[in-house]
Amino acid sequence: MAMEDAAADLAAEFGGPGPEDMANGAAALAAGLLAQAHTLAGTAAALEASDAGHQGAIDAAAARAALALAMAQAVSEAAGQARPGLIRAAAQTLGVSLGGAVTQLRAAALALPTDDAAARIAAAQIAGEIAAGLG
C-alpha cells in the first residue's frame, strides 16, 4: 500500500493522475469491460441463433464475455495488487489465455466511455499494471 501512496504522491507532484483520477479511471475501465462483455455476449447469442455449427466460436465468445465481467469486477472491487491474481484465476477457469485476457483489458482501456483525459490516462495505467502482473 505504501508503494501505491508513493506513486499517487509522485503523480500528483508531476501532474499525473491523482487518487480521484485513478478512481475515475478504474470506473471507466470497468464500464469499458462491461460494454465489451455485452458485445461479446451478443455475438455469442447471434452465432447460436444463426448456426449451431459454430460451437467453438460460440463458446469462445461466451468465455470472453464472462472474462470481461470478471475483469470489470476485479477492477472495480479489488485492491490494485489483487487484480492480476483474480483475473488470472478467472481466465484459467474460463479457458482464456492470459495473452487473450491482456488483449481484452487493453482493448477496453482504448475504448473508454469518457472524455476525461486524466481518467483515460489512469485507466491505461491500471490496465498496464494489471498486464504487468499477469506477465
Domain ranges of the chain: 22-134
pLDDT in tens, 36-65: 999 999 999 999 999 778 899 999 999 999
Tens-digit pLDDT profile for residues 92-109:
999 999 999 999 999 999
Sign of CA dihedral 33, 135, 6, 2: positive
- 118 close to 21: Cβ distance less than 8 angstroms: yes
pLDDT at position 135, please? 87
Give pLDDT, residue 103.
Answer: 96
pLDDT confidence of residue 126: 96
Segment 61-95, tens digit of pLDDT: 999 999 999 999 999 999 989 999 999 999 999 99
How many Å separate Cα 64 from the centre of its chain? 11
Q: Quick check: 32 and 109 in contact, CB under 8 A?
A: yes
Q: What is the pLDDT of residue 1?
A: 46
What is the DSSP code (8-state) at residue 31?
H
Mean pLDDT of the chain: 90
